[in-house]
């Protein structure tokens, strides 16, 4: 047809769309393979090579687009990772500048856990400069209830000067890091005396191997090299992570202290100066309370107590938590903790001539009966077979385990402290022998 009608196969206007139009026009399903290699290729009279090139080019473009997208995504991920690394490096750098230099530790809150550690360390470092080589340092928590001032009244008799590097609320980990900072040469003390509740191992519900107080007490003194080692010493996953993060980024551990400082910097700095001047004298000349637990009675079968008239909350709480506690399942965790951290102190002084002496402290105004305890072993007695490790006589202080010598369920009063300080000084002189 001259007008190029669709029914004229001879028409010069013959269109490649013809098969589609015919199919649609007759309301039929049309399927066709347009692959250049197919026998159904719609342009049988055309050279197939340009079509193959065209299809190959299209495929190449599609593949190139896909590669480009992947590269863009990879580049974006790389940039995000780089930004994250740079942010962490900047955060660590700022944290190190503030907390791994004397900058912030010089204004840390004296009443905080870390502040108590720092003040005790400062006081004992000063004492090293004032005393000779025959010094005996004690480690322990608040139950190490003796006063060096009273023990040193016997220095002419014993030949030794006593110092106390213990901190209330501290534990075995804290004692290790304290002595590491206090005696880097390992030659400063004639003996290190460690006060413990018992030579036997008895697990309680407190789980001391997951106690994070040591993280806060030692916050300023933990080093980068301590991060994994310190964190792994905890038993459970969450305390391990908290200890690792807090050792790596000290600002996390000290954040409450920082906020308090920023609220009133001037007041903080004035208080820090006051404590640094007065702390050594305040603590050395401390006078203990004269309160007593006279009138306390305990029914061990029922784990109940009758308190003396006028007993305060601290007396109630200490008796209930420390003396009237129920036996706990024995897991061996306390023994493992003792072997680890007492073992580190012992290993640190191996061959140095410094004695490590364990002392069983007075157990309370009315000690728990043996049948109520579930003791499975004694890691301290096992450690005592090592060279330069000694045990004080286990029953040396049982005469002090009476209500009139205690101010609450755990701590001795003025008279108890006075007697304990004198007996401790004489016992250490007997064990250590003549001074050098």
pLDDT tens track for 157-179: 999 999 999 999 999 999 999 99
What does the pLDDT read at residue 50? 58
pLDDT tens track for 259-293: 999 999 999 999 999 999 999 999 999 999 999 99
**Over 60: is that where the pLDDT of 25 sits?**
no
Q: Which residue has the higher pLDDT, 45 or 148?
A: 148
What does the pLDDT read at residue 76? 75
Query: Residue range 363-389: average pLDDT?
Result: 93
DSSP summary character for residue 36: T
Return phi, psi of residue 67, to 5°.
-60, -40
In this structure, how many other beta carbons lie within 10 angstroms of the beta carbon of residue 223?
A: 12
Q: Give DSSP secondary structure letters for 103-163.
A: TTGGG--TTSHHHHHHHHHHHHHHHHHHS-S-EEEEE-STT----HHHHGGGHHHH--EEE
What does the pLDDT read at residue 51? 55
Q: Given 3-state DSSP classes, what are the helix, strand and coil percentages for the chain, each rounded to the nearest 5? A: 50, 10, 40
Length of the chain: 436
**257-271, 300-314, 368-382: lowest mean pLDDT where?**
368-382
Q: Which of 127, 135, 132, 129 has its CA nearest to residue 151?
A: 135
E strand map for 235-320: 297-299, 304-306
**Over 60: is that where the pLDDT of 9 sits?**
no
The 3-class secondary structure across 333-359, one letter per residue, is HHHHHHHHHHHHHHHHCCCCCCEEEEE
Look-up: residue for tokens 């309160």?
A: 291
Tell me the two tokens of residue 404: 């009139």
pTM of the model: 0.81
- Rounded Cα distance, 184 and 203, in Å: 33
Distances 129 to 58, 115, 123, 352, 419 between C-alpha atoms, Å: 85, 22, 10, 20, 28
pLDDT tens track for 120-147: 999 999 999 999 889 999 999 999 999 9
Contact 112, 120 (CB under 8 A): no
**24-28, 30-34, 77-81: lowest mean pLDDT where?**
24-28
**What is 115-209+290-432's CATH topology?**
Rossmann fold (3.40.50)
Tell me the two tokens of residue 147: 């006063």
Domain boundaries, the chain: 115-209+290-432
Return phi, psi of residue 364, to 5°.
145, 175
| Half-sphere CA count of 5, side-chain side, radius 13 A | 4
What does the pLDDT read at residue 109? 97
Contact 429, 158 (CB under 8 A): yes
Q: Which of 100, 101, 213, 136 has its CA nearest to residue 167?
A: 213
DSSP summary character for residue 372: G
Q: How confident is the model at residue 365 (pLDDT cuts 50, 70, 90)?
A: very high
Contact 245, 252 (CB under 8 A): yes
Contact 170, 348 (CB under 8 A): no
pLDDT tens track for 390-414: 999 999 999 999 999 999 999 999 9
What does the pLDDT read at residue 71? 66
Look-up: residue for tokens 């305990």?
A: 298
Query: Residue range 211-231: average pLDDT?
Result: 97
**Over 80: is that where the pLDDT of 298 sits?**
yes
Q: How confident is the model at residue 86 (pLDDT cuts 50, 70, 90)?
A: confident
What does the pLDDT read at residue 341? 98
Q: How confident is the model at residue 244 (pLDDT cuts 50, 70, 90)?
A: very high
Query: Residue range 293-312: average pLDDT?
Result: 96
Contact 141, 167 (CB under 8 A): yes
Tell me the average pLDDT of the chain: 87
- Rounded Cα distance, 94 and 381, in Å: 46
Please report, rounded to a whole number, the percentage of residues in the chain having pLDDT higher than 90. 74
**Over 60: is that where the pLDDT of 32 sits?**
no
Ordered alpha helix ranges (H), 183-264: 213-217, 227-232, 237-248, 250-253, 255-263
Tell me the two tokens of residue 41: 């290729």
């Amino acid at each position: 047809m001259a007008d190029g009608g669709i029914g004229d196969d001879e028409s010069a206007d013959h269109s490649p769309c013809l098969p589609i139009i015919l199919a649609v026009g007759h309301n039929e399903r049309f399927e066709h393979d347009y692959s250049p290699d197919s026998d159904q290729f719609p342009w049988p009279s055309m050279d197939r090579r340009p079509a193959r090139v065209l299809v190959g080019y299209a495929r190449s473009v599609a593949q190139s687009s896909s590669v480009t997208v992947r590269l863009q995504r990879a580049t974006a991920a790389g940039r995000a990772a780089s930004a994250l690394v740079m942010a962490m490096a900047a955060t660590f750098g700022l944290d190190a500048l503030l907390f791994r230099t004397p900058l912030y530790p010089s204004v840390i809150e004296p009443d905080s856990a870390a502040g108590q550690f720092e003040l005790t360390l400062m006081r004992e470092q000063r004492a090293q400069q004032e005393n000779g080589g025959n010094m005996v340092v004690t480690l322990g928590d608040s139950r190490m209830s003796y006063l060096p001032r009273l023990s040193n009244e016997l220095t002419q008799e014993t030949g030794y000067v006593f110092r106390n590097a213990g901190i209330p609320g501290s534990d075995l980990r804290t004692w290790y890091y304290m002595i590491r900072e206090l005696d880097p040469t390992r030659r400063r003390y004639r003996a290190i005396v460690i006060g413990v509740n018992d030579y036997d191992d008895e697990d309680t519900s407190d789980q001391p191997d997951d106690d994070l107080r040591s993280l806060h007490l030692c916050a300023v003194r933990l080093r980068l090299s301590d991060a994994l080692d310190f964190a792994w010493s905890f038993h459970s996953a969450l305390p391990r992570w908290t200890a690792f993060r807090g050792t790596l980024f000290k600002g996390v551990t000290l954040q409450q202290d920082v906020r308090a400082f920023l609220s009133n910097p001037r007041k903080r700095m004035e208080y820090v100066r006051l404590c640094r001047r007065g702390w050594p004298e305040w603590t050395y000349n401390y006078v203990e309370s004269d309160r007593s637990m006279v009138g306390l009675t305990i029914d061990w079968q029922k784990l109940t107590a009758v308190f003396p008239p006028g007993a305060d909350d601290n007396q109630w709480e200490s008796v209930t938590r420390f003396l009237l506690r129920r036996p706990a399942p024995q897991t061996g965790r306390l023994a493992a903790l003792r072997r680890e951290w007492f073992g580190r102190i012992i290993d640190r002084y191996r061959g140095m001539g410094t004695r490590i002496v364990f002392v069983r402290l007075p157990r309370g105004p009315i000690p728990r009966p043996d049948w109520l305890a579930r003791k499975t072993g004694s890691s301290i007695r096992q450690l005592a077979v090592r060279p330069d490790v000694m045990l004080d006589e286990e029953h040396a202080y049982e005469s002090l385990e009476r209500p009139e010598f205690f101010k609450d369920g755990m701590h001795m009063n003025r008279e108890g402290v006075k007697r304990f300080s004198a007996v401790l000084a004489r016992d250490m002189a007997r064990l250590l022998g003549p001074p050098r």
